[in-house]
Amino acid sequence: METASSAAPLKRSLAQPPSSSDASGDSTLIDIQNLDFYYGAKQALFDINLRIPDKRVTAFIGPSGCGKSTLLRCLNRMNDLIDGTAVKRGTIKVRGVDIYGRTVDPIELRKRVGMVFQKSNPFPKSIYENITYGLRIQGVNNKTRLDEVVEKSLRGAALWDEVKDRLHESGLGLSGGQQQRLCIARTIAVEPEIILMDEPCSALDPIATAKVEELIHELKKQFTIIIVTHSMQQAARCSDRTAFFYMGKLIEFDETRNIFMNPKNPQTEAYVSGRFG
């Protein structure tokens, strides 16, 4: 089992056939190779090969049950929490390190790979406590530092102006969209490198959705974002790359505009044009 410690970003290897328009020279941050994933005896992912670029938004699309959320949850090992799940073959490397390696602590991994969930889940604590939660569990208790992080994260999540006067009120008093942005702020407060978003807008109204999309556009300057979405428009609007999954297999991965304009695979075309799903 490989537990490489090389932290150098893996450059796109020439041996790998580059996808047609993927010549932008982005460095690969996450390298998934030959991944097979099982829920108990049921195979959920089949031989996934995917290179996710650094500081870009990558969208996973596909019909329900196609494995896109499963793959997302593999990336910060949230699947570990479900009994009977296992990576039976293949590797996922983040910055060259196999995250399923024996010496990898999932706790440390999750500090670097944050996650925003489908249902906004602010803790029933104050806005301030929500943001500082991640730092406090890491043992940071310095008030000045926490204050700084709270402001920085809330500004980063475009929420500061809306909540700066009620930082000590419950996070549950916010609207749905604000709650989801609070969750994003909470995630960026621990300064991860990658943010996974599992259908972050599926419970939001269009305006709140637009705000979150706006935010994603801002965040990609600092973070690598992977977003699972059921909304094709959302994938088209927000992402730079799009991966289409069907029945646990990666059907097509390309620049977003190619996926939506000129998909190579007829299944992709059928899905993005709404003819099945």
Partner 1 sequence: MDSSSTHLFAARPGPARRAESAVAWIFRIATYLILACGLFVFADIIWKGAPTVLRSFALTESFPYVTNTFLFEAPETLHVFTYEGEKRELGDTAYRAFREAEIAKAAAAGQPAPRFTPTSYVYAAGGIWPCIVGTVLLVVGSMFIALSLGVASAIYLSEYARDTAFVRFIRLAILNLAGVPSIVFGLFGFAMFVLFFKWNVSLLAGWFTLAFMVLPVVITASEEALKSVPKGFREGSLALGATKWQTIRKNVLPYALPGILTSSILGIARVAGETAPIMFTAAYVVRDKLPWEVEKVGDFFFQGVMALPYHIYVVSSKIPQNDYTQRVQYGTAFVFLGIVALIAASSIILRNKLRGRYKW
Partner 2 sequence: MKRFFDSELETFRSDLLRMGEVAVRQVRDALQALVTGDVKLAERVIAADDELDELEKRIDTEAIRYMNLRSPIATELRLVIVGMKASHDLERVGDEATNIAKRALRLAAEPPLKPYVDIPRMAGIAVEMLRDALECFLHADNAKAVAVVKRDKEVDALNKQLYRELSSYMVEQPGTISRALELMFISKGIERIADHATNIAEEMVFLSDAQDIRHDESLKKGDKAL
Taking CB within 5 to 8 Å according to partner kind, which of partner 1, partner 2, none is near residue 190? partner 1
Whichever of 108 and 214 has its CB closer to partner 2, that residue is 214
HSE-up of residue 23 (Cα within 13 Å, Cβ side): 2
HSE-up of residue 131 (Cα within 13 Å, Cβ side): 28
Contacts of 74 (CB under 8 A, 6+ apart): 35, 37, 45, 87, 92
CA dist., res. 80 & res. 83, Å (int): 7
141 to 170, contacts with partner 2 by CB under 8 A? none
Piece in contact with partner 1 (CB under 8 A), picked from 17-25, 47-55, 103-111, 242-250 = 103-111
CA dist., res. 110 & res. 106, Å (int): 6
Whichever of 85 and 242 has its CB closer to partner 2, that residue is 242
Angle at 121 between CA 160 and CA 30, to 5 degrees: 85
Taking CB within 5 to 8 Å according to partner kind, which of partner 2, partner 1, none is near residue 236? partner 2
Whichever of 93 and 186 has its CB closer to partner 1, that residue is 186
Piece in contact with partner 2 (CB under 8 A), picked from 23-31, 48-56, 158-166, 229-237 = 229-237
* Site string (49-88) toward partner 1, x via CB under 8 A: ---------------------------x-x--x-x-----
- Considering the complex, what minimum distance in angstroms separates the CB of residue 218 from partner 2? 8
59 closest CA partner among 237, 264, 267, 189? 237
Task: Decide: 52 and 35 in contact? Cβ < 8 Å.
Answer: no
User: In the set 40, 65, 124, 266, which binds partner 1 (CB under 8 A)?
Assistant: 124
Helices 143-156 and 176-189: angle between axes, nearest 10 degrees: 130
Footprint of partner 1 (CB under 8 A)? 76, 78, 81, 83, 107-108, 110-111, 114-115, 117, 119, 121-124, 133-134, 137-138, 170, 172, 183, 186-187, 190
